[in-house]
Amino acid sequence: MKTLFLIACCSWFAGPAQAAKLRIVATVPELADISRRIGGDWVEVETLARGTEDIHQVVMRPSFVSKLNRAEAVVYLGLGLEHSFLPGLLDVAANPKMRSDITRECAGPGCIDCSAGIAVLEKPDTLSRAEGELHAQGNPHYNLAPDNGPLIARNIEAGLARIAPEHAAEFERNRKAYLSELDAKIAEWKRWAAPLKGMKAVSYHKDQAYVARFTGLVFVDTIELKPGVSPTPTHMVKLVEAMKTQDIKLIIREQHFSPKEAEWLAAQTGARIAVVGVMANAFANSDTFVKMSEHNLRAILKAAGKEPS
């Protein structure tokens, strides 16, 4: 009898750590990080893409299907950024809480789209394949701009509260605590970025629009001929001429791209290269949204010859 009483007491006072947690799958590491911060003790979060991968060419693994099959929700960037792997995985997982609909978007109560409400940049005027790999809904790389972090957090909070309304108050408290930290960092990073305003730069891929808006950098061209299309010798020669004419001394290379084109371009023009990640965990000690954002900004400032102030 005494043993039964003790068991009952332990069950009564069991906290979130002992209770069944919500299984959440995030497509990229920075969304997993923010999901953990918002969900706190009530969530168990797994990630699909590795930070060192090209988000457009994520290698699908059998474990992804089992993760999605067991999950209560999937947290994703949206705007078609995960189109190469997420819809197919949802089809195979056949989880009624989140599935791929006729438009190849995630549908169902377990779909947490972090792009909701984002001021989308670079919506294409044409979807001709001749223009390369275009994103119909606009540039989807909004996760690279620190000032989009608060909206991502709010979208995750809303999604978690939808699937677990009994914990909504705690999710809200966690979101406020997280944003108190993030907002302070964003204000600091804006001060750091001030000297970059108006500086011209070249990136490897067309994914820096939101970084440009945050920092004031002006991206004039890409090393890629077109999105997803490798550079040609003719394009590289023209790019050298343009950089010399416009005195462009900053090249931004996304970590997963080959360094050879950027290094050749730097050698021809005297420009310096900033190597950045397009996801958290692209580098050591960059496993969170905050660490990813700070790593990328520091890399850009260093290559631009500007020290954080």
pLDDT tens by residue, 109-120: 999 999 999 999
Strand duo 73-76 + 111-113: pairing = parallel
Q: Quick one: pLDDT at residue 129? A: 58
Indicate whether 8 pLDDT > 60: no
Q: Which of 132, 155, 185 is the last residue of a domain?
A: 185
Indicate whether 10 pLDDT > 60: no
Q: Quick one: pLDDT at residue 228? A: 85
Indicate whether 141 pLDDT > 70: yes
Q: Name, in order, each residue with C-beta under 8 angstroms of 7's C-beta and a sequence gap of 6 or more.
A: none
Residue 1 within a domain: no
Q: Which of 152, 185, 218 is the last residue of a domain?
A: 185
Indicate whether 108 pLDDT > 70: yes
User: Does residue 109 contact residue 162 with C-beta atoms inside 8 Å?
Assistant: yes
Cα separation, 201 vs 216, whole angstroms: 11
Judgement on whether residues 177 and 145 belong to the same structural domain of the protein = yes
Question: What 3-state DSSP class applies to 214?
Answer: helix
Range name among 101-105, 146-150, 246-250 with the lowest pLDDT average: 101-105
Q: What is the pTM of this model?
A: 0.90
Judgement on whether residues 261 and 198 belong to the same structural domain of the protein = yes
Q: Quick one: pLDDT at residue 132? A: 52
User: Does residue 100 contact residue 90 with C-beta atoms inside 8 Å?
Assistant: yes
Indicate whether 85 pLDDT > 90: yes
Task: Please count the structural domains in the chain.
Answer: 2
Judgement on whether residues 81 and 113 belong to the same structural domain of the protein = yes
* H/E stretch holding 26: strand 22-26
Range of the domain at 140: 18-185
Q: What is the DSSP string of 152-207?
A: HHHHHHHHHHHH-GGGHHHHHHHHHHHHHHHHHHHHHHHHHHGGGTT-EEEESSS-
Indicate whether 100 pLDDT > 70: yes
Q: Which residue has the higher pLDDT, 103 or 91?
A: 91
Cα separation, 296 vs 89, whole angstroms: 30
pLDDT in tens, 179-234: 999 999 999 999 999 999 999 999 999 999 999 999 999 999 999 998 889 999 99
Indicate whether 50 pLDDT > 50: yes
Q: Which of 163, 185, 207 is the last residue of a domain?
A: 185
Q: Quick one: pLDDT at residue 161? A: 98
Mean pLDDT calculated for residue range 31-40: 98
Q: Quick one: pLDDT at residue 227? A: 85
User: Does residue 141 contact residue 208 with C-beta atoms inside 8 Å?
Assistant: yes
Cα separation, 89 vs 65, whole angstroms: 6
Indicate whether 6 pLDDT > 90: no
User: Does residue 277 contact residue 205 with C-beta atoms inside 8 Å?
Assistant: no
User: Residue 80 is part of a domain; what is its CATH number?
Assistant: 3.40.50.1980
**52 residue type, one letter:** T
Q: In 77-123, where do the E strands start and end?
A: 99-100, 106-107, 111-113
Cα separation, 162 vs 149, whole angstroms: 20
Indicate whether 131 pLDDT > 60: no
Judgement on whether residues 296 and 177 belong to the same structural domain of the protein = no
Range name among 111-125, 139-153, 257-271 with the lowest pLDDT average: 111-125
Q: What percent of the chain has pLDDT over 70?
A: 90
